[in-house]
Amino acid sequence: MSCPPPAAEPTPVDLEHLRRATFGDADLEREVLGMFLTQATRLVGALAEGPPNAAALAHSLKGSARAIGAWRVAERASALEAAIRDGGDPAQALAELDAAVAQACTAVAALLDRLAVRCIPSAARIDPL
């Protein structure tokens, strides 16, 4: 009896979701991804300081992540939000969120690089000898 193959690890950003959300508009994809990078970096930095509005910041990050299809970030932000709301120790949830955001931001930066290359006219991409 053979075992089914293991489920593939989800990618940091669901590209199909992103394309649906941006109607396949590459300019809009770039804009939304850039906004996510800026906001995610800012919010994770703020969350590390343990502010009184940490649950609201986690909630905002969850929404931003869902907008681009960064499901793991959304799940981890939701877990942090719940830990704060329920009076638990948010340290583990924050560490997991931080790791998920780092992974998503790396993927988003790579996507932005690919989208930028797609916008350069092909003649400009030719490397002169």
Instruction: Dump pLDDT digits (tens) for 29-82.
Output: 999 999 999 999 999 999 999 999 999 999 999 999 999 999 999 999 999 999
Q: pLDDT grade, residue 125 (50/70/90)? A: very low
* Type of residue numbered 107: A
Full-model pTM: 0.82
- Residue 25 gets which letter from DSSP? -
Which pair of structure tokens corresponds to residue 110? Answer: 């790579």
In a domain, 128, yes or no: no
Which pair of structure tokens corresponds to residue 115? Answer: 């989208």
Total domains present in the chain = 1
Whether the predicted pLDDT of 122 surpasses 60: no
In a domain, 10, yes or no: no
In a domain, 39, yes or no: yes
Which pair of structure tokens corresponds to residue 62? Answer: 């969850």
In a domain, 95, yes or no: yes
In a domain, 7, yes or no: no
pLDDT at 114: 85
Q: pLDDT grade, residue 10 (50/70/90)? A: confident
CB 106 within 8 A of CB 12: yes
Whether the predicted pLDDT of 8 surpasses 80: no
pLDDT at 115: 76
In a domain, 8, yes or no: no
Residues in Cβ contact with 25 at an 8 Å cutoff, skipping those fewer than 6 apart: none
pLDDT at 116: 74
Residues 11 and 72: their CA atoms lie apart, in Å, by: 9
Kindly report, residue by residue over 81-120, the tens digit of the pLDDT.
Answer: 999 999 989 999 999 999 999 999 999 999 898 877 655 5
In a domain, 36, yes or no: yes
Whether the predicted pLDDT of 123 surpasses 50: no
Domain containing 82: what range? 15-118
pLDDT at 107: 95
The size of the chain, in residues, is 129
Residues 34 and 100: their CA atoms lie apart, in Å, by: 17
Q: What is the CATH number of the domain that holds 80?
A: 1.20.120.160
pLDDT at 119: 55
In a domain, 125, yes or no: no
